[in-house]
Structure 1
Amino acid sequence: MKYSRIGRVVALSSAAVMLLTGCGGGNSTEKKTSESLDKDAKVSITFAGWSLDMTPEFKTLADGFHKSHPNITISVKQYSADDYDKQLTADISSGAQPDVFPLKNMVKYVTYAESKGLADISDIAKDFTSDKNIETSYYKMEDGKYYALPYRADSWVLFYNKDMFKKTGVKEPDGTWTWDDYTKAAKEMKEKLPAAGYDANTYPMYMHNWQSVVQSFALAQSGKSDKQTFLKGDFSYMEPFYKRALEWQNDKLTVDWNTSFTNKVQYQTQFGSQKAAMMPMGSWYAATLLTQRNNGQAEKFDWGMAPIPQNPDTKTPKTPITFGSPTSLAISSKLTGQKMSAAKEFVKWAVGEGGATELAQLSTTPAYIDSKVTDTFFKPEGMANDQQSKDAWAKHDLKLEAPVAKGTDTINSILKDTHSSIMTGTQNVKDGLQEAAKNVKDQGVIDE
């Protein structure tokens, strides 16, 4: 049985398409830069990564590819996880970029395309466009070209502690929850936690301090298009989501935003040490949880994944709507000859089943998902492997964390300040969102 993502990810905005077409991310008139790969030629290429001691996926991909392509050596160049985009942008500007490099999320796609540092890899993309096991359409430009392809595609799911639900007698998530159901279950659990033996520092849920935890769910589940909301500078659709978030912290169903942000609370610790029974989080956390259980940083308990609760104010969709931000691979536009051919061969392998299987062995969610990859992902000891967990991981309508558009970075920056001001009570919800709309309009980045 195949477990492939259902639904189409939000398409690129017309602004992004026009910008990319105008600036020529890969240059339509450029001379031919690649040639047929000589399998006997020894080639070395560089590959960017970050936090290599804690993020094994980069070396795993490099080593896995080398096994099947022994004449191609891949050297991983380490960047700072926090300053990755800043450092990579500087390298591209100076012409010192690695041969192959990840794009952390779609928000920066336009920015990188403007740099003209990304090669046209449409010849690789054509091998995946009709493959139902991977979604690549959001990388296609108006001119039909592709400048990156996804190798992993984390989506947000609801992690929950099955043991805590059993001990408190609260009914587990069943895949049909709305955010109102989520709130109701959290309130019931809060009342029952003391009798079940849990202390005052244990909460029914944990809401992390990132703006996406409120804003991206609101965008994905609003029932409106990006052009009606985010790119129009109208953020009123976020209001009910913020009211719920404030209710959660005011009712002490979660650690409050101030404490989480000021004390740098780690979401891994909250769930892994059983201080929170439920936690919306990206699917990448599954790998972290298994690693921490094995090294003693997390406790061992029965856990699972459920679909993210849905917007109670809209019609319940047949397929759960969640958000995520694919991580993709791009190739330096400076490469030519056998280096370009080797880089393309590596990206093609990494994006496909070969790389996906290697990532799944790390419990990392790849962009390419078929039955083999699914079986591999859920095989490790300690992994949640019930059917609901598998469905939550693989079957959903994935929307982008934010639209791909020229003004997204600016809008996101303004909304980040809005998020903190609302969650700290500095501004009420309505005033905060209206001020954000005004600030965005003043920046001149609204998609008119």
Structure 2
Amino acid sequence: MRRFSMGLLAAVMGMAPFSAVAQEKVTLNWALWDWSSVAYYKPLIEAYEKKNPNITIEHTDLGSADYGQMVMTQLSGGATNLDIIQIKDVPNYIQLVRANTLENLTTALKEPVDTPDTKALTVDGSFYGLPFRTDRWLLYYNKDLFDAAGVDYPTNDMTWDAYYKKAEELTQGFGVKKVYGAHTHTWATLVQVFGTLDGKNSLVSGDFNFLAPWYEQALKMQEDGTVQTYAALKTSATHYSGPFFNGQAAMMPMGSWFIATLIEKVKNGEARSKSWAIASLPHAEGVEPGTTASQITSLGINRNSRHKREALDFVEWVAGPEGARIIASTGTLPSALDKAMAEQIAGLDGFPKDETSRGALQSPKTYLQLPVVMNAPQLNLILDRTHDMIMTENVSIEDGLKDMHDAAARLSQ
């Protein structure tokens, strides 16, 4: 097993209950989602297999829409054909931990791994997934639409009030030719998480009154026509990329994973919005510029795997410096992101060449999108359900947040 001298897992050296990686030929199966559209899967596998000719990595694509439920069903049923388990988000992680389906990596590793991301995933002193990709929320914008409207580009120190004003200035036209100043996708996160970036409020606190002004503004943008309505987007099942690709939206808060997608889609001609750039997420007054929320994607090991030691070696390698550099080479932010890797991403063919975009790749402060709590899966459902009710105006903001509070309180009883 290789040892790392730098990066996220510099201290990781092996699994205490497992011996060294066997020399016989072994095939590992990696449970993942969106094989055909995620750029780093193939180069990671090819590089690892080249270094380890006795290991073959296969994959099982469980799809992104229902990945959490699909992988939970497989593992809770005692599946032995999956070795490496990709973990999508906190609710997915907690489901798998509660079902006792993953190896405890805290005890498996000879040396402790102590990073902000592993701390964030710690449950009762243990963690069960090694972070290898940490996405952050950024602001994407179409430079051509800004130029046409005569509006200054966003900066890495732009307030939400300035964002709302630009959205008004950029909204042009009518009907099918209308250009919206911004695009707010249907995910609850794109309203709720922004209220937590002051470090004072949290989606797991049980008190959701702090969300009221954020929902007021989200509904105002719908009413003013600076964004498409939530109901229209839900009814048409519009993918977030569509309005941006087609030049129908001038700005869009979205995850850092969209960088690699944009580079690829512009290159192959699928995206008409060729002149794009990024900036840091807007911030509220009193919040440090560049502060954002993150989502950790990690790799765990199936407790029923027949090849645990080989699986861990692969997981270590992906989460370590070699894997991180390969992930960065595709335009994706690895968990082990440092200044050199940020420069690597900024130097990719197709990445915007302006200094604002380059600077937006690194954040001074990030907060986990949904903190790790044992009722995260149920809480996430409550957050999503209430978001839908408020954004479709089936309930008032006040009543919706009260329902959210009451439902969350029942989880603790």
Task: Output the TM-score relative to the length of structure 1.
Answer: 0.83
Corresponding position: 1:412 with 2:380? yes
Deviation at 1:236, TM superposition (A): 0.4
Q: What is the CA deviation profile of residues 233-266 of structure 1, one whole-angstrom value per residue up to 9, with x for unaligned ones?
A: 2110100110111111111001111111111122
Counterpart-to-counterpart distance in 2, 1:71 and 1:434: 57
Partner of 1:14: none
Pairing partner for 1:129 from 95, 114, 119: 114
Partner of 1:158: 139
Partner of 1:330: 300
Deviation at 1:83, TM superposition (A): 1.7
Alignment of 1:45-444 (within 5 A): 45-97=28-80, 98-122=82-106, 124=109, 126=111, 128-129=113-114, 135-143=117-125, 145-190=126-171, 193=172, 200-218=177-195, 220-226=196-202, 230-312=203-285, 315-317=286-288, 319-335=289-305, 339-441=307-409, 443-444=410-411
| SS of equivalent residue, structure 1 residue 301 | coil
Contact 2:134 2:297 in 1 (8 A): yes
Contact 2:120 2:372 in 1 (8 A): no
| SS of equivalent residue, structure 2 residue 168 | helix
Counterpart-to-counterpart distance in 1, 2:345 and 2:175: 32
Deviation at 1:69, TM superposition (A): 1.6
Greater alpha carbon shift after TM alignment, 281-290 vs 76-85:
76-85
Could you tell me which amino acid in structure 2 is paired with residue 82 of structure 1? A
Counterpart-to-counterpart distance in 1, 2:69 and 2:39: 22
Contact 2:342 2:361 in 1 (8 A): no
Could you tell me which amino acid in structure 1 is paired with residue 130 of structure 2? L
Deviation at 1:48, TM superposition (A): 0.9
Q: Taking structure 1 as reference, are residues 353 and 127 closer, same or farther at Cα in structure 2, changes over 3 Å only?
A: farther
Contact 2:120 2:368 in 1 (8 A): no
Q: Taking structure 1 as reference, are residues 432 and 113 closer, same or farther at Cα in structure 2, changes over 3 Å only?
A: same
| SS of equivalent residue, structure 2 residue 266 | helix
| SS of equivalent residue, structure 1 residue 426 | coil
Could you tell me which amino acid in structure 2 is paired with residue 139 of structure 1? L
Counterpart-to-counterpart distance in 1, 2:332 and 2:269: 20
Counterpart-to-counterpart distance in 2, 1:290 and 1:355: 21
Contact 1:222 1:237 in 2 (8 A): no
Partner of 2:3: none
Q: What is the CA deviation profile of residues 256-279 of structure 1, one whole-angstrom value per residue up to 9, with x for unaligned ones?
A: 111111111222111111111100
Q: What is the CA deviation profile of residues 354-396 of structure 1, one whole-angstrom value per residue up to 9, with x for unaligned ones?
A: 1112222222221111344223322332212333212212224
Q: What is the CA deviation profile of residues 28-76 of structure 1, one whole-angstrom value per residue up to 9, with x for unaligned ones?
A: xxx96410224x4322211111222223433332222112222211111
Q: What is the CA deviation profile of residues 3-49 of structure 1, one whole-angstrom value per residue up to 9, with x for unaligned ones?
A: x99xxxxxxxxxxxxxxxxxxxxxxxxx96410224x4322211111
Counterpart-to-counterpart distance in 1, 2:318 and 2:381: 32
Q: Taking structure 1 as reference, are residues 399 and 189 closer, same or farther at Cα in structure 2, changes over 3 Å only?
A: same
Contact 1:124 1:348 in 2 (8 A): no
| SS of equivalent residue, structure 1 residue 391 | helix
Contact 1:48 1:79 in 2 (8 A): yes
Counterpart-to-counterpart distance in 2, 1:431 and 1:85: 30
Contact 1:110 1:405 in 2 (8 A): yes
Greater alpha carbon shift after TM alignment, 145-154 vs 252-261:
145-154
| SS of equivalent residue, structure 1 residue 394 | coil
The structure whose RCO (Cα within 8 Å, separation 6+) is larger is: 1
Aligned residue pairs: how many? 399
Deviation at 1:173, TM superposition (A): 1.0
Q: Taking structure 1 as reference, are residues 396 and 275 closer, same or farther at Cα in structure 2, changes over 3 Å only?
A: farther
Contact 2:79 2:304 in 1 (8 A): no
Contact 2:16 2:110 in 1 (8 A): no
Counterpart-to-counterpart distance in 1, 2:167 and 2:127: 44
Q: Taking structure 1 as reference, are residues 50 and 221 closer, same or farther at Cα in structure 2, changes over 3 Å only?
A: same
State the 4+ residue runs in structure 1 displaced beyond 6 angstroms.
Answer: none
Pairing partner for 1:42 from 22, 25, 36: 25
Counterpart-to-counterpart distance in 1, 2:250 and 2:117: 32
Q: What is the CA deviation profile of residues 294-340 of structure 1, one whole-angstrom value per residue up to 9, with x for unaligned ones?
A: 2221015322111111123xx232x522112110000122346xx32
Could you tell me which amino acid in structure 2 is paired with residue 439 of structure 1? A
Counterpart-to-counterpart distance in 2, 1:432 and 1:146: 34
Q: What is the CA deviation profile of residues 206-238 of structure 1, one whole-angstrom value per residue up to 9, with x for unaligned ones?
A: 1111111101222x2254243xxx334211010
Counterpart-to-counterpart distance in 2, 1:295 and 1:333: 41
Task: Output the TM-score relative to the length of structure 2.
Answer: 0.89
Partner of 1:28: none
Deviation at 1:93, TM superposition (A): 1.4
Contact 1:49 1:58 in 2 (8 A): no
Counterpart-to-counterpart distance in 2, 1:241 and 1:289: 28
Counterpart-to-counterpart distance in 1, 2:362 and 2:292: 11
Contact 1:104 1:327 in 2 (8 A): yes
CA RMSD of aligned residues (A): 2.5
Counterpart-to-counterpart distance in 1, 2:380 and 2:110: 29
Deviation at 1:128, TM superposition (A): 4.8
Deviation at 1:163, TM superposition (A): 2.0
